[in-house]
Structure 1
């Protein structure tokens, strides 16, 4: 995978060193692909902007999101954020048996600082409650086995067959299965193992959305299957109990289950694989400390009401390749998947996404107090992609976006959704606060570049 992009859902293209472990293929040996990343522009480059002054001496480490802080950089001019390194959960499990679980990292120098969180034990589900959740959800969790052709395999490097495994969740009684695109990408054969059944069932890919790492698979010739209940991820809160389920490491005997909490909301990551694999910029994802392992891709992240609030997709790594981050996993919020289902079911290619070309984060009370932003709410611009519609319109770092057209922006997630509600080529007005000034900037949205 390459670099971390802006608002991972396509409002921008800004690097975060994230990497998807593309696919663990059967009998493959693991090797780390070249690292690609860009440097974040220092705030000093925007010194001419009349926006808020960013004084490094005013930075209180306890008020900055700890997983974005590089302690070695606190004495330097403060940069918008230090991005964590992310590896997409191995969609295709192969090379794990006998070879161990190898990891790939995109950014060798980045260290992630994680502040511990101790949830109130009274909020955690009791053993009986967990078992009740599992009885309702596990029957609808499936294992997905794929076969594909992988270029470069074999002694002559001419390519050869590869196998892999991932996870899915049944969303309709007639066999519709939701999973990650990287689980089935390039598959020439797809088979699904339904919980409690010995034989695998043939299946085919109905539709995919590679940009958001979503795919819909259909099990052939079935009816009356159990289904998961899709919840409302907007109602998830930090500290909520969750269960992650999936085909971890392709172990025999059914899905694995891990327990944790929602560690953070509204994360923006770009995840991808090395060796020429594409990347996906994913916005508004849920961070969890429930263990996510290779093979869990496409499995459900479930709340205490047995509702799916996310699809397990990525796991973080840090420290240059030898130090996996502890319990930092990511799931695509289910509310970002639901709007895609109609087109996935039709088999149509999803249309090009509108592209603004910024990276932003939600303006919080802490940011307002620390850096003197005058806006009461909005999305703070932390980078602008060169040559993007945003740059051409005059959007600057430290601007606070408060509206897109007539729609207000209160959070970074709002900005992403407001841009995605438009089509490439649409002319929109973006309202920003720059210091004490309110500006209306007109621009024409572009098309999101491939891999962003």
Structure 2
């Protein structure tokens, strides 16, 4: 049995690289609409600002107050073992350029967030030759477009989210028209133990240049609290803790053992004044979730496919009605001709009397469903039209 350290409650931060930092305005609901009457921006979700990473200092209670690590890609490498031997490095926790062997099955993930309101980048791992890619849920959260570049070949594909489990921070993507891809080698049979040599590989800083950070396992079965740019937080359990210098953009990438097999998914990092502590989801747990997603079994916290999306933004003053302030370009609402000032009154015969009612009604449908939409324009004239619900941002 693997040796462990005592689980600890550690505050950490996800490792995706937000190229344009985002201020969350509203949390996307299952219908692409959430808290509209209060927050006023439904189905859009983000505004963009630019920010730099802040220095990090431990708090007095022993947890870490964490800001995004600054992206970087050092220019020195390892000698000998192509998987990286910490004993030969200048600093065993510094990142280096990844070797060709470490890039087999590696994928760079780039996303457009909420219809162009932001961008993000992360990492993934190719599981099948026809393009199933494993990554973190938070790498694709909020995405409305996803492109994936294969590190070893430079080929780029469009991708769709097959499903995800936010509770364990796992997502499965499918690349469009992919075939003959090289895949990562995984090891879910041999237990990870404290002291094992590991290498975290990923798209550090969103540069589409693979870096490798060597280190050792310093804990297993760890529990952490993960924060994000919006100030929200969530808990992740049963993680592998490492002292490898994994950073922003590495999320979703492989944590290799000394045999060059994947034992975890780089997921979060906590840093103090000098040292970074990384965390990874064990590959065995992630593969079980990926298999469930691939089989289409939606249960518990596992979500399959895209949520339905009407594509309206609701007026901040819309209380007791579903009056809109605009539509998302190319959405079902826009195609039907809805404009600012219109009020949605029905969906497939269900009366809509509030933004919450609209959200609940859409939640019963899937992306691609065709429904009858009723609305009243600003002059009081009633309209109905059949619309095809689109795919909303990844929840």
Give the TM interval when normalised to the shorter protein.
Answer: 0.5 to 0.7
* TM-score, reference length from structure 1: 0.49
Matches for 1:433-444 after TM superposition, within 5 Å:
none
Question: Cα 1:347–1:196, aligned 2, differ >3 Å: closer, same or farther?
Answer: same
More helix by percentage: 1
Question: Cα 1:238–1:108, aligned 2, differ >3 Å: closer, same or farther?
Answer: closer
Q: Distance in 1 between matches of 2:279 and 2:181?
A: 28
Q: Distance in 2 between matches of 1:102 and 1:233?
A: 40
The match for 1:28 is 21
The match for 1:290 is 244
Question: Cα 1:28–1:235, aligned 2, differ >3 Å: closer, same or farther?
Answer: closer
The match for 2:328 is none
Aligned pairs, number: 248
Structure 2 unmatched runs, 5+: 1-5, 25-47, 65-77, 85-97, 303-395
* TM-score, reference length from structure 2: 0.56
The match for 1:307 is 261
Question: Cα 1:249–1:241, aligned 2, differ >3 Å: closer, same or farther?
Answer: same
Question: Cα 1:171–1:301, aligned 2, differ >3 Å: closer, same or farther?
Answer: same
Task: Identify which of 53, 56, 64 aligns with 1:101.
Answer: 53
1:351 aligns with 2:300: yes
Task: Identify which of 210, 213, 222 aligns with 1:255.
Answer: 210
1:223 aligns with 2:175: no
Q: Kindly indicate whether the alpha-carbon contact (under 8 Å) linking 1:315 and 1:329 is maintained by their aligned counterparts in 2.
A: yes
Question: Cα 1:176–1:266, aligned 2, differ >3 Å: closer, same or farther?
Answer: same
| Deviations, residues 159-182 of structure 1 (Å, cap 9, x unaligned) | x61001000010111111100000
The match for 1:171 is 127
More strand by percentage: 2
Task: Identify which of 127, 138, 141 aligns with 2:106.
Answer: 141
| Deviations, residues 279-306 of structure 1 (Å, cap 9, x unaligned) | 2x32221111111100000000001111
Q: Distance in 2 between matches of 1:352 and 1:258?
A: 31
Q: Kindly indicate whether the alpha-carbon contact (under 8 Å) linking 1:22 and 1:273 is maintained by their aligned counterparts in 2.
A: no
Deviation at 1:267, TM superposition (A): 1.2
Structure 1 unmatched runs, 5+: 1-6, 9-14, 32-93, 114-125, 151-159, 354-452
Q: Distance in 2 between matches of 1:228 and 1:249?
A: 22
Matches for 1:116-265 after TM superposition, within 5 Å:
127-130=79-82, 134-149=99-114, 161-232=117-188, 234-252=190-208, 254-265=209-220
The match for 1:341 is 290
Q: Kindly indicate whether the alpha-carbon contact (under 8 Å) linking 1:22 and 1:274 is maintained by their aligned counterparts in 2.
A: no
Task: Identify which of 327, 351, 373 aligns with 2:276.
Answer: 327
